[in-house]
Amino acid sequence: MGLESFLLTIMLIVFQIYCIVVSVNILSNKVFSKRFVFIMGLLLGVSGTTLFFYAEYYSLVFIAGILMLALRWKKKRWFVCIVTPLVTLFLLVIISYLMDAVLIGVFQLNNILWNNGIVTNIVYCTILLILTHVISAGVNRLIRSKPYKTTINKNVYLFASILVITVVIIYSFIYIESIYQFPSEIIFFNGILFMTLLCMIAATTFTLVKINQRHVEIEKEKTEKRQLTKYTLALEKLSNEMSDFNHDYINILASLHGYIEKGDQLLLKNYFQETIQPLNQALINNKNQLSEYTNRKDLTQ
């Protein structure tokens, strides 16, 4: 490998590591400042590149570990700290392989990027950064929507396990690819394999979201039925009390007529306090309760 190819290799590795830091920040809802992302990206780029020449793809464990600790330092949950770097690594692989497919299949360029010249590599890195930012922002918006967020929170261990297994599979195949010096056939095969894994994860997530939404709908229907039953019983009770009031109303008029004819003010006063006032208060309460049930729009409340 010549000096130019060596420098381009370093540039590519540093830039890809920087893209990992950018993506992690976006997926974690931008918990880091732009300055922190820039400095962390450069430091991890330099240290990760140096480690790459000794440990190759195992250097990603070091990078992911540092990013996990950084997220934990920002008081993120351990699930977020573990999953976010894994999602980032997965997305970066998919983006890189899509770009490689375009470079090799459409533009007929060399599958070894650092052999394509500095201009091609600068364009490659720029497009990689743009795609990383756009796709990470889209994924972040998707996973933070209410249906997906609820589903992920209910299946934390399942999603974490799927991501760990997927990332291990991906980088195992990439390692095999590097052993054979990145032949176009293996790159093409790996690209199809990784896209298949992406589709499987997307389909699994979508299915779980739909199952969770249906479960929520069923629970809401059950709650509405319970509240409707309660509502019906309350109306029946009010109806019975109104019927009783009609009967009591006749008795009240008869009693008042008797007290008035006798001219007994004391009995009239006591009857008013002991019978009419409580009955009037009960009537007001029933009226308020009836108004409350009548105006209620959401039976789940």
Task: Please state the rounded mean pLDDT for residues 178-194.
Answer: 79
Indicate if the pLDDT at residue 206 is higher than 80.
Answer: yes
pLDDT tens figures, 29-70: 899 999 999 999 889 988 888 888 887 777 888 898 999 999
Per-residue pLDDT at 177: 78
Task: Please state the rounded mean pLDDT for residues 285-297.
Answer: 61
Indicate if the pLDDT at residue 164 is higher than 90.
Answer: no
pLDDT higher for 263 or 162? 162
Q: DSSP letter at 230? A: H
d(CA 107, CA 289): 75
Structure tokens at 173: 């195949």
SS3 297: coil
Asked if 134 contacts 22 with a C-beta cutoff of 8 angstroms, the reply is no
d(CA 140, CA 157): 19
* Dihedral of the alpha carbons of 259, 263, 264, 268, in degrees to the nearest 10: 50
* Dihedral of the alpha carbons of 36, 42, 48, 53, in degrees to the nearest 10: 180
| pTM score over 0.85 | no
Indicate if the pLDDT at residue 20 is higher than 80.
Answer: yes
